[in-house]
Amino acid sequence: MQNQAPTLGFIGLGVMGGPMCCNVVRKHPAPVHAFDITPAAIEEVRKVGGLAAASVVEVARAADIVFLSLPGGNQVREVCLGDGGLASVGKPGMVIVDLSTTSVAEARHVGEKLAEKHILFADAPVARTRQAARDGALSIMVGASDELFARIEPLLSYMGSDVTLCGGVGCGQVVKLINNTLVFEHVAALAEMMIVAERAGVSRDTLAGAVSKGSGDSFVLRNHGMKAMVPGVFPKKAFPSSYVLKDLGYAMELAESMGIEPRLPRSIEKYYRDAIAQGLGEKYFPTIIDVIGKS
C-alpha cells in the first residue's frame, strides 16, 4: 500500500490555479478534490475529471496532499490556520504545498503552526505565464526539507518543467520574490528607455530589434517588450500592477529584514502605483509604458 498514489486536493482555481489543477487531474492516477469560491472554476476542473469539493474542510478530509493557489499571504493563512481551515481538520501527516506567492515570514509562520499539528508544509511558488500553466511548463521554486521534496517533486512536475529545491521552508518564496522583483525592475527600465528612444526618433520596434542583437538582449525584452510593450497589446487576465505592488512589498520587507535598503524596488514602485491611480491597475503590468509615455 505504500506505493499507492496519494489522493490530492487543490484549493484555488483562478488564472493560474485552474490550469495547474487541470494538469494535475489529467496526469495523476488517483482522485483530485478541487475547491474554489467560484462555482464556474470548479466546473472547469470537473470537466477534465476532477472531483468537486464543497469546502476547504471537504478537501482536507479527503486528501493526503493539498495544493494551494491563492492570491496572497492573508488568504493562505486563513485557509491553513483560520476557523475551519486545514490545520483544524487535517489529519496528522497530511502535506500542504503552497503554490501562492507570500512573504517569506508568512510562509515560515504557517509552516511552524502546521508543524504543531503534525502537518507537513512546503512553499512552492510558481513563475512564468498563464500559457505555461496550461502547458505544465512552469518554473516552481520549492522551500522544503529534502525528504518532503522527494515526495512532492513528482507531483509538482505535473505542473512545472523546472522544479528547483531552494532550501528549507520559506526559501522558495525568497527565490520567487527576487525573480519577480528583477523582472519588475527590468520592465520599468525598458519602458523608460523605449519612451526615450521614441521621443528621440527611434521606434519601439526598431529599438527592440536592435537591442536584441546586442548585450542588452534579455528575456524581458523578448517577452514583455516585444510581445506587449512594442505593439501596445496588453492581454486580459495577465499579471496586473496590483499584484506587482504586493510582490514588491514582500521583496522590500525581505530586503530590509536582511539589512539591505531596497532602493531600486522603491524607485520603480511609483510607476505601478501610478498605473493603478490612472485606472490601469488590472491591466498587464508592462502597461506602465503608457504611464511613462504620459509624463
Q: State the cell numbers at 50.
A: 476532477
Q: How far apart are CA 35 and CA 24, in angstroms?
A: 14
| DSSP assignment of 246-266 | HHHHHHHHHHHHTT---HHHH
Active site residue 294: no
Q: Is the dihedral of CA 12, 13, 17, 21 positive or negative?
A: positive
Amino acid at 147: E
CA angle 66, 67, 72 (to 5 degrees): 130
- How far, in Å, CA of 163 to CA of 141, rounded? 6
Single out the catalytic residue among 91, 176, 246, 283: 176
Cell of 191: 519602458
CA nearest neighbour of 80 among 36, 111, 104? 111
Q: H helices of the chain, where?
A: 17-27, 39-47, 56-62, 73-81, 86-89, 104-116, 130-135, 146-156, 171-199, 204-211, 219-220, 241-257, 263-277, 288-293
Instruction: Compute the distance between CA of residue 202 and CA of residue 204 in angstroms, rounded to an integer.
Output: 7
Catalytic residue numbers?
176
